[in-house]
Amino acid sequence: MNYTEAVEYIESTPKFTKKNKPENTAELIRRLGNPERRMRVIHVAGTNGKGSVCAFLASILEKAGKRTGLFTSPHLVEITERFQIDQTSVSHETFTDAFVRVKREIDAMIADGYAHPAYFELLFAAGLLMFEEAGVEYLVLETGLGGRLDATNLVERPIACVLTSISLDHMEYLGDTVAKIAAEKAGIIKEGVPVVYDGRNSEAEQVILSQAEKMHAPTYRYDDSMCEILAKTDKSIDFMLDCSYDKTDTAGKLRITVPFLAEYQVANSSLAVMAARVVSRQDAGCKITDEMITEGIRTARWQGRMETVLPGVVLDGAHNADGIREFIRTAADVRERTPVSLLFSAVVEKEYEKMIREICEDMRPEFVVVTQVGGARVVPADTLVEVFRRYTNVSVIAKADVSEAFSEALARRGDSMLFCAGSLYLVGELKKILLQEQAV
């Protein structure tokens, strides 16, 4: 089996299976030898920001000289993006070799009466094999959906858990209140394992603290009062983080440069810093200095989240209510310094009319180009134009083809900063276009 065949098989799994009970995935991981037990795992859950926190943490650990694995989702262009070792995606060959081994065990499981693993479960299993084979010491592990019933929650004893901001998303699976969703996310908390969490939502915080108390897990709270923003540019933010509220933390204040223009990355990078300090105190084999932390944050890479891909061109995969709100906040802040413009698309299950109304009211772009993405979930470009024209009088242009839409937006950009947002599908398509152009 080659790489293309492996990917085609994996992409076909939703057609003949569904998410299984944890016991089914546990059996697959057991048959693979429980590779997660030979790595130190930092487990991260939350609604928004968990991928960024994972990227910051992995970068810090790499700067600390540790062989570091990073498991995240979704991917934007290639499935191998989900598996990084020292901030580099695994090769096609490495991925295929791991998949073949997993497929062998799946076939044996099915013969024994077990269910076929679902898409994410299969990828998680393959990832564990790849990380073990590469000699990964520390694995930064992002949950897929929720936490309590997520495949990644099979890790029995992480060295730390991190809970990022929690808000309403995937309500059909996780519950229709912040408290219910927080309960699912807090399901990753393990007996005695320290928890670093975003404490800015009191409803979520109450649930997290209750679960942590049940599990005798020490907690470390982040809130905005711990940070003072010192300077902003269109590429980065300098801020001071003060952890001195924690009596066990003698390091005190730390000046940090986060290499993104979005202010929400201040909170995400702060959670990563706090988690790194907790790990350094807990794990005698991992001493992380302030210099390692600041350099790790400064050099972290995370695709598609307020990512500057060309001068004056930013991609952002915000697609739920909180994500769009933070995107608009960032774009409106930039508008105070320079004009802004927008390339937009969305998929059908998202509240795209509400997203568009808020963009028009608060971001106020100079012009808008809309396009369509998402296959069966597509919202036609003409439909998006109609919605935009309910809320703005600026020029709104429809280009169904993403490449044509991007070219149109670039040609019209002038001195404005072009934001491309509304869907991770859009970000992925634009990434493919940029890669193709670089290859020419």
The predicted model scores a pTM of 0.91
| pLDDT tens sequence across 125-153 | 999 999 999 999 999 999 988 889 899 99
Look up residue 128 and give its DSSP letter.
Answer: H
- CATH (domain of 385): 3.90.190.20
Report yes or no on 47 lying in a domain.
yes
Interatomic CA distance for residues 116 and 109, integer angstroms? 8
Q: Is 363 in contact with 342 (CB distance < 8 Å)?
A: yes
Report yes or no on 103 lying in a domain.
no
Same-domain check for residues 42 and 150: yes
Same-domain check for residues 264 and 402: no
Could you give the C-alpha distances from 236 to 52, 263, 417, in angstroms and in order?
15, 9, 15
Interatomic CA distance for residues 182 and 147, integer angstroms? 9
Contacts of 387 (CB under 8 A, 6+ apart): 352, 353, 356
Could you give the C-alpha distances from 233 to 65, 213, 263, 334, 375, in angstroms and in order?
30, 41, 11, 9, 37
Beta strand residue intervals within 351-408, DSSP E:
367-370, 395-398
Q: What are phi and psi of 418, to 5 degrees?
A: -90, 120
- CATH (domain of 192): 3.40.1190.10
Report yes or no on 420 lying in a domain.
yes
Q: What are phi and psi of 333, to 5 degrees?
A: -65, -40
Same-domain check for residues 206 and 273: yes
Give the residue from 262, 279, 298 where a domain finishes. 298
Report yes or no on 149 lying in a domain.
yes
Question: What is the pLDDT at residue 270?
Answer: 97
Q: Is 162 in contact with 43 (CB distance < 8 Å)?
A: yes
Same-domain check for residues 254 and 402: no
Report yes or no on 361 lying in a domain.
yes
**Average of pLDDT values for 195-220?**
96
Same-domain check for residues 67 and 172: yes
Report yes or no on 63 lying in a domain.
yes
Domain range enclosing 342: 307-439
| pLDDT tens sequence across 386-429 | 999 999 999 999 999 999 999 999 999 999 999 999 988 999 99
Same-domain check for residues 213 and 68: yes
| pLDDT tens sequence across 232-280 | 988 899 999 997 654 445 456 899 999 998 899 999 999 999 999 999 9
Same-domain check for residues 211 and 338: no
Helix axis angle for 3-12 and 92-111, nearest 10°, is 50
Give the residue from 298, 321, 354 where a domain finishes. 298
Question: What is the pLDDT at residue 169?
Answer: 60
Same-domain check for residues 215 and 287: yes
Same-domain check for residues 334 and 384: yes
| pLDDT tens sequence across 266-315 | 999 999 999 999 999 888 888 999 999 999 999 998 888 889 999 999 99
Report yes or no on 113 lying in a domain.
no
Report yes or no on 98 lying in a domain.
no
Give the residue from 298, 328, 355 where a domain finishes. 298
Same-domain check for residues 311 and 290: no
Same-domain check for residues 431 and 340: yes
Q: What is the tally of structural domains in the chain? A: 2
Q: Which helix (H) or strand (E) holds 52?
A: helix 50-63
| pLDDT tens sequence across 76-119 | 999 999 999 999 999 999 999 999 999 999 999 999 999 999 99
Same-domain check for residues 239 and 368: no
| pLDDT tens sequence across 56-66 | 999 999 999 99
Interatomic CA distance for residues 364 and 332, integer angstroms? 8
